[in-house]
Structure 1
Amino acid sequence: MFATLLHEIPLQGGDVTDGVVRVGDTVRRPAGQSTPAVHALLRHLEAAGFTGAPRVVGMDSLGREILTFVPGSAGVSVASVTGEALAGVAGLLRGFHDATAGFPLVGHQWASGSNDDAPPQVIGHCDLTPDNVVFRDGVPLAMIDFDLARPTTRLFDVVTTLRHWAPIADPVDRHPLLRDVPVGERLRLFCDEYGVPPRDRRRLLELARLRFHRSYEVMRARAATGGNWARMWAGGAGERIRRASAWLDAHEDRLHGHLV
């Protein structure tokens, strides 16, 4: 076991899951209640020819899931904040949603979380932050960390993604590289590239506000259970959601003008 541990390289970036390591060309992650559902989804994506996600290898002797390692870089960077990168993320998300077609929306145990009130249409990633998109040569090639994936609407997953990529956030809470970006123009660019229809564009900001409210309540409840959720809450996650919601209220008319 000692020799094995020498070859384990801890991977950083996610907020929720500890103990993620790289071993050679694989990633080992602690298994959870939604792991069987996620593995079924990843195998479906592989069969559908979707290349923007890791592949399932199996489980190791410690009960951890084994996935293929996707080489590249993740997180906010000079390359990831460009309009071209944003369009690429929109295309990646659209390709993922399209590839989930035919995957059963019932019959699996998924992670809980905030959601749209409309009937689910696809399996959403529901956590497509910059830390969960792998770039190579300035191009977003794959999404990782499907711990929060679940049945939802296309628009809800779009809104969740734009929360971090537009970003729909108070400038004080944005990464310095995203502090002064034109959010309205980025909303429109993403929606154009994804192909968000007019009826959904008219509802996008309303759903963003609903998501803020529900995410706040979900995170507060999870924080009460301790662990990383409590750490995130203590670190100001709730306050950031509140500030983002207030910023949206103050700028809604201008943002809506870019969308419609």
Structure 2
Amino acid sequence: MVPDGGVRARRYLDDGRGAVVELPAGDVTVGVIRIGETVRRPHQRQSWAVASYLDHLASVGFTIDGSPASPRFLGLDAEGRDTLTFIPGDVAEAVLEPWVLTDALLESVAVLVTALHRASAGFEPVAEPFPAREIAQDPFELVTHLDVTPQNVVVRDGRAIGLVDFDLAGPSTRFTDSVNAAMHWVPLRDPVDLPASSRGLDQLARLKIFADASDWTVAERRSCARFAADRAALSWRRMRLRAESGGGWARLWQEGVGDVIERRRLWLLDRETAIVNTLLSPV
């Protein structure tokens, strides 16, 4: 690796040997592989900003149990791919297994996200700014992950210990990131759209576990349902715009993701009173 002269100067040099393991493709990012203890990802327009953010997290010691909780950016490899360190552990499949749905893991995800927010405090993307959002830029409180799905959390011994896939990272707020994580992990969606493995979950009880572990304020608990519904409306608009560019976004839209998002919005509004009462209950 070339000595640091800024993330754009960084190169990862290896001998090109080692078994290539294809890693699960994300919703829109394909071509992610593992070679030895490194992960190679296609270089994207936000890659330099993400690399700078990962440098910050490393510099402030974002760790869980003494191990790095986010990848380290090593540089571009000989094929121009982003090269990052591999975080060992378990990651959920697209169809969630029972071990992903325990209350203990849910609570540890909230703790991990809160730790990320503490580590992110003070970082400002000046040298490598993030690309602007297509619609309605979020208020800037901090840079954060914004895509804490079960497929992007590394788990060991039933606890969340790391975050990967920072493709959607950018300026936002703590509460936005936290609610977004809860949306995926509780999960917050119309039960008709839950996979078979998630049916029967007490969604409101799980939301309270997440909120308590995240130390949400009374005001945040009161606003959660309405806030999440508004974010769903914004997500629908962004997804529709991205679908026009083709690729993975278009595929998701064709598969009905817009309908799922709209059903989520309506479900949240319909359950608003029950959600608020649950989140404000003492037990």
TM-score range, shorter chain: over 0.9
Cα distance in 2 between the residues matched to 1:161 and 1:180: 20
Matching of residue 169 in structure 1 with residue 189 in structure 2: yes
Q: Which of 50, 56, 64 pairs up with 2:62?
A: 50
Letter paired with 1:62:
E
Q: 1:31·1:64 contact (CA, 8 Å) conserved in 2?
A: yes
* Cα distance, 1:238–1:5 mapped onto 2, change above 3 Å: farther
CA distance in 2, matches of 1:45, 1:23: 23
Q: Report the AA paired with residue 42 of structure 1.
A: L
Structure 1 residues 106 and 180: CA distance shift in structure 2, 3 A: farther
Supply the AA of the counterpart residue of 1:90: A
Distance 1:237 1:95 in 2: 30
Tell which deviates more after alignment, 226-235 or 180-189: 180-189
Report deviation, 1:106.
Answer: 5.0
- 1:112 paired to 2:112: no
Count of matched residue positions in the alignment of Structure 1 and Structure 2? 257
Between stretches 193-202 and 4-13, larger displacement belongs to 4-13
Could you say which residue in structure 2 is the equivalent of 1:65?
82
Residues 243-252 or 224-233, more deviating:
243-252
C-alpha displacement of 1:169: 0.6
Q: Which residue of 2 aligns with 1:252?
A: 272
Match of 1:142, SS state, is strand
Please list the CA deviations of residues 37-92 of structure 1 after superposition, one character each: whole Å capped at 9, or x if unmatched. Answer: 11111111111111211111111011111001111221232222111101100000
Report the Cα distance in structure 2 between the residues aligned to 1:166 and 1:220, rounded to whole angstroms.
25
CA distance, structure 2, for counterparts of residue 158 and residue 113 of structure 1: 21
- Structure 2 length-normalised TM: 0.86
Alignment-mate amino acid for residue 263 of structure 2? R
Secondary structure of 1:228's partner? helix
Is the contact between residue 114 and residue 215 of structure 1 (CA under 8 Å) also seen in structure 2?
Answer: no
Amino acid at match of 1:64: R
Of residues 12-21 and 101-110 in structure 1, the stretch that sits farther from structure 2 once superposed is 101-110
- How far residue 200 of structure 1 moved from its aligned partner, in angstroms, is 1.5
1:255 maps to amino acid:
I
Q: For residues 137 and 111 of structure 1, do their structure 2 counterparts lie closer, same or farther at Cα, with a shift above 3 Å needed? A: farther
Superposed, which structure 2 residues align to 1:76-95 within 5 Å?
A: 76-95=96-115
Q: What runs of 5+ residues in structure 2 fail to find an aligned partner?
A: 1-14, 64-68
Instruction: Give the conservation status (yes or no) of the 8 Å contact 1:126–1:160.
Output: yes
CA contact (8 A) 2:142 2:172 kept: yes
Larger Rg: 2
Residue range with higher mean Cα deviation, 82-91 or 172-181: 172-181
Root mean square deviation of aligned Cα: 1.9
Extract unaligned runs of 5+ from structure 1.
none
Q: Is the 8 A contact 1:110 1:149 kept in 2?
A: no
Pairs within 5 Å for 1:63-212: 63-75=80-92, 76-105=96-125, 108-110=129-131, 112=133, 119-212=139-232
User: In structure 1, what residue type is equivalent to 2:115?
Assistant: G
| Cross-structure match for 2:7 | none
Give the AA of the match of 1:109: F
| Residues in 1 aligned to 2:188 and 2:137: alpha-carbon distance in whole angstroms | 18
- CA distance, structure 1, for counterparts of residue 137 and residue 75 of structure 2: 32
The more displaced of 145-154 and 173-182 is 173-182
Tell me by how many angstroms 1:248 deviates: 1.4
Select the residue among 36, 40, 43 that pairs with 1:28: 40
- Give yes or no for contact 1:33–1:111 (8 Å, CA) kept in 2: no
2:265 and 2:121 mapped to 1: Cα distance?
32
